[in-house]
Structure 1
C-alpha cells in the first residue's frame, strides 16, 4: 500500500489550509472597464479540506461583505474548478473558473457576463512562500487579447 502523495495536481492548493489575514486592493466597480478608483481593505479568511482532500472550502470576511469559495479537483481531467459566492450578490454562484498550476503559478479561466458585457475571467495564484500566497483577478473584454487586473489579495498566515 502506497502512502505517496499523488502528483496529479490534487495537492496544489494545500498551501491554502489554515487562517489568514488578507490585504485586498480592488477596483471600486470591477464590472466597469473604465473604472480607475481603487479601494484597499483588510479581511480574514479560513480554509479547510473537504471530500477526502479533493476539494476545500474557504470563507473570507471583511466589513463590507462575506465570501465563500468552493474548490474541487477533477482527477480525471487534471484540473481545478473554483466557484465564488458573496453576500454582495445574494443567491448568485459565479460560474467556475477552471485550470491548474504550472511551475508554481495557478491560472484559472472562464467566460461570464458582467454588467451586461461578455467577459473572460482569470484568477492567478502565486506562492512566493507558503505563508504569503497572492491571488489576482483580471478581466478581458476583448476575448483574451488584453487583461486588466481588478482585484488582488495578499494573504499572510495567522498562527
Structure 2
C-alpha cells in the first residue's frame, strides 16, 4: 500500500514525474558527437513533447518530436514506477533505431533533482548512462545526459541537455 499525505498524494515516489504531464517546448543543446570525449562542438535545435500518465499513475508515456539539422525525428519515453523499490525505470525509443528499445536507466528523485543510471552500449563499448532531471520552477525543467566509460568511477561532462518550458 502506498504511503499517503493529507492532500492525497503518494509519498513513495510514484508522483515524482507528475510535474511533466502536459505539452512542452524544448531548447536542445547536444555535442555534435556524444561518443567523442574530446568533442567541443555543440549543436542546438528545437523539440516538443507531450507527456501523460498511464497505469493509474504507476507510469507515464511521452512522445517527442525533435528537429536536429532541420530534420524531424520522432521519439518516445516510457517511465514505470516500482512501489517495491521506490524507483523509476526509463526507456527511450526513436525512429532512428526502429524496433529497438534502449536499455532502461533506473533511479529516483531527491527533492527537485532526479538521477537515473543504467548500463548501455555505445559503438560496441559498454558504458553507463545517466539522466539528470532538475526542476527549475513550476513551468521549467532541465533534462541532461552524461556517460561513464569506466563503470561509474568518473562521469563525462554533459553531452546533451534540454531545457523544457511548459506550453499547456
Match of 2:27 among 23, 41, 50: 23
Which sits farther off after the overlay, 43-52 or 56-65?
56-65
Match of 2:126 among 99, 118, 124: 118
Residue 8, structure 1, aligned to residue 12, structure 2? yes
What TM-score do you get using the length of structure 1 for normalisation? 0.94
Q: Let me know the Cα RMSD of the aligned residues.
A: 1.4
Give 1:91 shift.
1.4
What TM-score do you get using the length of structure 2 for normalisation? 0.89
Q: Is contact 1:32–1:115 with CA below 8 Å preserved after alignment?
A: no
The 3 A distance-change label for structure 1 pair 29 and 108 is same
1:4-153 paired onto structure 2 within 5 Å:
4-63=8-67, 64=71, 65-148=73-156, 149-153=158-162
Aligned residues: 158
Give 1:34 shift.
3.3
Give 1:77 shift.
1.0
Match of 1:158 among 132, 144, 167: 167
Q: Is contact 1:21–1:43 with CA below 8 Å preserved after alignment?
A: yes
Q: Deviations over 1:99-132 (max 9, x none)?
A: 0001221000001111111111000101011200
Unmatched 5+ stretches in structure 2:
none
Q: Is contact 1:109–1:122 with CA below 8 Å preserved after alignment?
A: yes
